[in-house]
């Protein structure tokens, strides 16, 4: 039979605009989260992490927001560049367990 692939949400933005990528996590006990970036043909690469005792964490051009009430995580990328085009995954973890569960990912397309 015909195989059905994952529907990968796609976000298209203009170069220079800000991007917001969202992630809903499943386990209310999860208390550590990581955002990864995966470029075509490469392995996932760490972007930023956040623990559940924080609501917000900032890095270079990236900000992660955590809303534990609704189990939602977002990644904000400022002044998006063509090099930001990739698939972005959130990963959740329950502390003391060295096991992350990855979301299905969001594809970011940056238009020049």
With CB under 8 A as the contact rule, which of the stretches 19-27, 42-50, 62-70, 74-82 interacts with other proteins? 42-50
> In whole angstroms, how close is the CB of 112 to other proteins at the nearest point?
27
Our finding on whether 42 is near other proteins (CB under 8 A) is yes
With beta carbons less than 8 A apart as the criterion, state whether 78 and 61 touch.
yes
10 Å CB burial of residue 41 (0-12, 13-18, 19+) is exposed
**Residue 45 makes contact with other proteins by CB under 8 A:** yes
Contacts of 13 (CB under 8 A, 6+ apart): 19, 80, 108, 109, 110, 111
Cβ of residue 17: shortest distance to other proteins, in angstroms?
Answer: 27
Instruction: Please identify, using beta-carbon distances, which residue of 32 and 79 lies nearer to other proteins.
Output: 32
Nearer to other proteins, 42 or 112 (CB): 42
Q: Which of 1, 11, 6, 4 is nearest to 108 (CA)?
A: 11
Given the rule CB under 8 A, which of 4-12, 21-29, 57-65, 66-74 is the region that contacts other proteins? 4-12
């Amino acid at each position: 039979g015909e195989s059905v692939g994952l529907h990968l949400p796609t976000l298209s933005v203009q170069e220079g605009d800000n991007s917001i990528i969202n992630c809903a996590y499943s386990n209310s006990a999860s208390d550590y989260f990581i955002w990864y970036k995966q470029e075509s043909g490469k392995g996932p690469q760490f972007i930023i992490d956040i623990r559940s005792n924080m609501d917000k964490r900032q890095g270079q051009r990236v900000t992660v927001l955590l809303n534990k009430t609704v189990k939602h995580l977002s990644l904000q990328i400022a002044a998006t560049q063509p090099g930001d085009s990739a698939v972005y995954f959130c990963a959740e973890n329950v502390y003391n367990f060295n096991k992350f569960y990855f979301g299905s990912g969001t594809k970011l397309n940056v238009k020049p």
